Homo-oligomer: A and B are copies of this chain.
């Protein structure tokens, strides 16, 4: 692991997620931004091999015999380090699990994706919400035509924790997210808007064609956006709306998706993740439940406990880690098929989306074309 020292938030989440299903053992890490704190964190966590920084980690690990070195690295630093760290490990032949957004620019994302692709290495991006069983169910249903051709997609991601200027109050989590040198060109769009984009892309399979974005900085003095309202047009004629805000007072982690097709619609909420509402045209609504009747194999296999025993955020995150483990084993010929998880292509698509939203916003919400993922190699 790179990043994720004991004072960070997301590192602990990644560790629990990796641990839950038992497919990973955490043995090495460069966990903080200074050697001192990195080593101290490694000690607290009882890592076999603590490093002062990621470069010495790459160096040391690549020089270990293959059966002793790490198989994969999980990168959980602020955004600006994703690219150099991922690049270094990919070049060392080590699989990469990278937090989102994958890089600072789409150019960096392309480079990583090419690198991984050429080296036949796993490059996974932890858009963790796609790990929810009922997100997988929705994807499968749509792929099989359960709601017909899609007309309209509404995706929302509302949080309220940045409604005041926490970054000026010394809150580290807020500070780097709103600092362009660490977060990139976007604030809320990069932090949560990119999750929303990926959720739509994953579930619907639609490719964006153009967007029209209104980004806001509601809290005075912010350089990066803390709120976004974006109109979407997809290839093939479907339309949509993406709303993201981190100043939505009272909202906790309110990620929602509604997909309307010609024959039905689906509704899902991250805060109530064990239920998926299916509205078939002209029939009563059905509530599909995690572990309940009527699910596809992809959704059933992504669950640990029976229906009614709620699974949550960590289980969905763990699902991603377990799927990535499958992909790693697939590169080793130990299993036939790769796992189901976001890859470098998703990371690249995400970066193109973020850049397009910013471009649209600075042109006062003009429709801005967006390069589709099928054009990306």
Interface positions of A (Cβ within 8 A of B): 9, 12-13, 15-16, 19-22, 147, 151-152, 154, 159-161, 163-164, 212, 214, 216, 218, 227, 229, 231, 233, 239-241, 243, 245, 247-254, 258, 260-265, 270-274, 277-289, 291-294, 304-315, 364-365, 367
Contacts and interface: CB of A to CB of B under 8 A. Distances in A.
A271 B308 contact: yes
Contacts of A277: 250
Contact of A260 (B248, B315, B365): B248
B315 A314 contact: yes
B307 A253 contact: yes
A272 B285 CA distance: 16
Nearest to A226: B151
A15 B315 CA distance: 14
A281 B293 CA distance: 9
A227 to B, nearest CB: 6
A357 to B, nearest CB: 13
A284 B152 CA distance: 25
B308 A252 contact: yes
A260 B253 contact: no
Contacts of A364: 367
A317 to B, nearest CB: 9
